Structure 1
């Protein structure tokens, strides 16, 4: 009869067996260790919970123009259109046929009732609620799928291409790659005609700011369909008075006009401001109180492209980003002669966000820890 294994050897075998069952591997990275657990058939990376700068979070949560915006909304709800607002906007409401509506006309009265209702509902919902990212499928994807005759579900789109308007798009022929995505999102009604090889031809819905809608509202029939009258539009409201354009145009559009939820607007504003503050401190070494004077705090805002990307993050399993970036040899927009950037945006801060989205999405602040980020890629 053979003797049993020595106690020490038995203990070692037990340890090896336990490690094999848990399949836990420690990988050294940058002086520390990351933990990877093997769960058949895939590897699940357990990232360390990010630590955000509490001071930056506090400053990013402050909306410098909030009091003034609330006052403007109160004035509009009372029917006082005399104020031109923060952005120099003058009210010239038109009917869906493009005819200027007099303030006392029956047509304007009907538009006014709709305007007052949607503005009131929108303003009541304007607050910080990070869980909004999980609601975007129902708020945006649902109405679009219903319009297209599809079964509405909680499933995300398999792949989405967000196509920006940067002139760098003319340096690559990404058209076929863009059109190969399940969903293609374009910004601010940028033209595709004559640029098909670079930007593609497919458009599932467009994402615009309400300044674009205001221009559409001045046209016959509120024409705002460069991609076809059946293509839905998602709109974020820059100015509360633009709800007049929305109420007029919404009655004449066959495809849905979907206004972004104000909770989503607030979330995007906080995220971008955090990155802008962080970049400001790192580059200038100046106190945060001086950030407002550099970026005109009350006017500071995220770009249309940023919010379109964040929308795709909420409704897509894979997000591909095209036409975001700049080059000394490229125009600001591929389809216009605009050369200068708008100072109310901090594009460099937004590029930092896209970098984190691709490489370390958990580093993006203000989003709940339970939210599932998609895979993302930026094409330059």
Structure 2
């Protein structure tokens, strides 16, 4: 028996030695991978300035807006600020250039106007209620509330090839800004190669194909743009074709009338952004603007309002379009955001001056964080997964 056990014991000892050596070799070879795993651990949660968070969450224009909405709901359509709706002149009929979907002028006291007014009250009331409900999880809902519910249904009606992507994020999106720096680039083909292309405020593409491309999946505008379109025959607001959906945020509550007049005549969806999304964007931009103001000027944060038109301060259309893309796209490319001394403010117009109610420099810092450290962006739920973002200059 002893002679029989010796070979077995030797074999077992040999196996233990071989196993030990194998483990050591494996650990040595995978050491680099273990080190990399440590590098890619989630970054620590940033420490936000509580004072700036509180100030950014406060809408100093809300009392004035509340009063305006209450008057509108009571039927007072007189002049509202610098931008006047076609209903705000105090006349007894709408401007003759504004027509219904059937092509007839809308009379203020006509049955057709009365139906519009009832719809206006309902839309405005719902918008105001939602606007007062802050939702940090809203970014995760944009695919279902914007893309799937309206855009996918529109594009998927007669195209079986689009059905596979319905209800899912776009694989890649290009957000095309309107900066004059685009005239010094040849990004047209690159822009058009994206799965979806979002353009801003009806900026022209004709004559600028090599710079900005031609493809348009979504037209993103502010309601001032639609307000101008409402004065045209048939509410024409389609420089990219009548099949392109329009997403619009409301600048002034009275513009809901423009929306209602035009919506019935549009073949493609005319979508109003969720007011909770508007509030989220407003808070983010205001936080970056406050932070930059304190850092650059070293002044008391209470002086910020005087430097940025106080209650008129607002995010740019481009900023909200970028945030929309971040919510509905797997990858986001940004074009035409930025400025140069020799470049026009808009590539398609002669405008050179920037609007003082925007803080573009603060928005550029936001875009930098979107690319390099999105976890540092406030007011967005930790559950939301940011896509890769790249900016082309």
TM-score by length of 2: 0.86
Please report how far the alpha carbon of residue 99 of structure 1 lies from its aligned counterpart in structure 2 after TM superposition: 4.9
Alignment CA distance shift 1:22-1:138 (3 Å): farther
The structure whose Rg is larger is 2
Aligned partner of 1:114 in structure 2 is 119
Name the CA distance, whole Å, in 1 between partners of 2:278 and 2:245: 19
Residue 91 of structure 1 contacts residue 241 of structure 1 at CA under 8 Å; is this kept in 2? no
* Pairing 1:96–2:91 present: no
RMSD: 2.5
Would you say how many aligned residue pairs link Structure 1 and Structure 2? 362
CA shift digits 1:164-222 (9 cap, x unpaired): 00000000100000000000000000000000000000001100000000000000000
Residue 290 of structure 2 contacts residue 304 of structure 2 at CA under 8 Å; is this kept in 1? yes
Aligned partner of 2:134 in structure 1 is 128
Aligned partner of 2:80 in structure 1 is 85
Of residues 152-161 and 335-344 in structure 1, the stretch that sits farther from structure 2 once superposed is 152-161
Alignment CA distance shift 1:76-1:145 (3 Å): same
* Pairing 1:346–2:359 present: yes
Of residues 170-179 and 133-142 in structure 1, the stretch that sits farther from structure 2 once superposed is 133-142
Name the CA distance, whole Å, in 1 between partners of 2:72 and 2:115: 15
Please report how far the alpha carbon of residue 110 of structure 1 lies from its aligned counterpart in structure 2 after TM superposition: 1.8
Name the CA distance, whole Å, in 2 between partners of 1:191 and 1:358: 28
Aligned partner of 1:41 in structure 2 is none
CA shift digits 1:348-377 (9 cap, x unpaired): 000000000011111111101110101010
Aligned partner of 2:229 in structure 1 is 216
Of residues 323-332 and 95-104 in structure 1, the stretch that sits farther from structure 2 once superposed is 95-104
Residue 100 of structure 2 contacts residue 106 of structure 2 at CA under 8 Å; is this kept in 1? no
* Pairing 1:186–2:199 present: yes
* Pairing 1:69–2:65 present: yes
* Pairing 1:52–2:48 present: yes
Please report how far the alpha carbon of residue 90 of structure 1 lies from its aligned counterpart in structure 2 after TM superposition: 4.0
Name the CA distance, whole Å, in 2 between partners of 1:11 and 1:287: 65
For structure 1, the residue ranges without an aligned partner over 5 or more in a row are 28-33, 37-43
- Alignment equivalent of 2:331, drawn from 312, 318, 333: 318
Please report how far the alpha carbon of residue 35 of structure 1 lies from its aligned counterpart in structure 2 after TM superposition: 3.1
Secondary structure, counterpart of 1:320 in structure 2: strand
Within 5 Å, which residues of 2 pair with 1:138-217?
A: 138-142=144-148, 143-149=150-156, 150-151=162-163, 153-217=166-230
- Alignment equivalent of 1:266, drawn from 260, 279, 294: 279
Residue 85 of structure 2 contacts residue 255 of structure 2 at CA under 8 Å; is this kept in 1? no
Within 5 Å, which residues of 2 pair with 1:239-318?
A: 239-318=252-331
Name the CA distance, whole Å, in 2 between partners of 1:15 and 1:308: 53
Residue 152 of structure 2 contacts residue 167 of structure 2 at CA under 8 Å; is this kept in 1? no
Secondary structure, counterpart of 2:51 in structure 1: helix
Name the CA distance, whole Å, in 2 between partners of 1:242 and 1:335: 25
Aligned partner of 1:375 in structure 2 is 388
Name the CA distance, whole Å, in 1 between partners of 2:368 and 2:147: 25
Secondary structure, counterpart of 1:207 in structure 2: strand
Q: Which has the higher strand share?
A: 1
Alignment CA distance shift 1:183-1:11 (3 Å): same
Please report how far the alpha carbon of residue 46 of structure 1 lies from its aligned counterpart in structure 2 after TM superposition: 1.8
Aligned partner of 2:342 in structure 1 is 329
